[in-house]
Structure 1
């Protein structure tokens, strides 16, 4: 299912749902950040996705990283809470979802790197090289907040 991310667009359709979701910053020993190249919008992103019934939001982040990358992680900190009502995601099935996402840092535990059917590629990227990638502004915001290393999480 394809999607369009509307970010601070006054002509965006009105939201008709909200689903708690996560993104996760996964880094390697060289400080590179793992990014996925998404099928649904053709953009680079942090791994993540929607919370399922019966799981905590932290379990959602761990599950999504495993599903999308093949890697096992544990949550180490909160980067931020992203609830901008002017960021909506329009899906081809008619759903227009208001953003409600928590971004976490993780500690890599193991696993074997492999992408799933939601992405076409995985790449470890040096922070200085991220600016050259095609990425949604809301994803850049999360990565920027991670890289600034603020002691308190972003709230917004």
Structure 2
């Protein structure tokens, strides 16, 4: 079975009771909310990845104010007649503060909309599980950088 490792970095930016999210189409085309962030480029530091990705997906410049944790999950994916892939994701979750730029949507990228969402409204949004994982890290601030009992 083919193995694939993906390392990514995401930012949780909260201000005035709202969280910054981006919208991305799921595999079936349904829009779902995601954290701004994404995959590291070869040779890139995760810190630099999150700064770059937030700017690309939201238009904002951020100051990274802390590393909240690292999440890891592994799953076997099967697509059509292709052989299954053993996929392992390692995801750095940073806290960020907006220091400049203007909210705008990514053009020709992995997301199509960036928006502030009320924290209280997040449970009602169609979202990826990573949003909930990051919010738990932000609220609980685990000293080990790892949450117990994550859903993925």
TM-score by length of structure 2 reads 0.78
The total of aligned residue pairs comes to: 140
| Candidates 91, 95, 98, aligned match of 1:101 | 91
Pair 1:85–1:63, CA change in 2 (3 A)? same
1:5-154 equivalent positions in 2, closer than 5 A: 16-28=3-15, 30-41=16-27, 42-86=31-75, 96=85, 97-116=87-106, 117=108, 118-150=110-142, 152-154=144-146
Pair 1:35–1:140, CA change in 2 (3 A)? same
TM-score by length of structure 1 reads 0.77
Q: Please report how far the alpha carbon of residue 133 of structure 1 lies from its aligned counterpart in structure 2 after TM superposition.
A: 0.2
Aligned-residue CA RMSD in angstroms? 2.5
Q: Which has the higher strand share?
A: 2
Structure 1 unaligned runs (5+)? Answer: 1-13
- Measured in 1, the distance between the counterparts of 2:45 and 2:51 equals 10
Structure 2 unaligned runs (5+)? Answer: none
Q: Note if contact 1:27-1:108 (Cα within 8 Å) is conserved in structure 2.
A: no
Pair 1:52–1:90, CA change in 2 (3 A)? farther
- Measured in 1, the distance between the counterparts of 2:115 and 2:52 equals 19
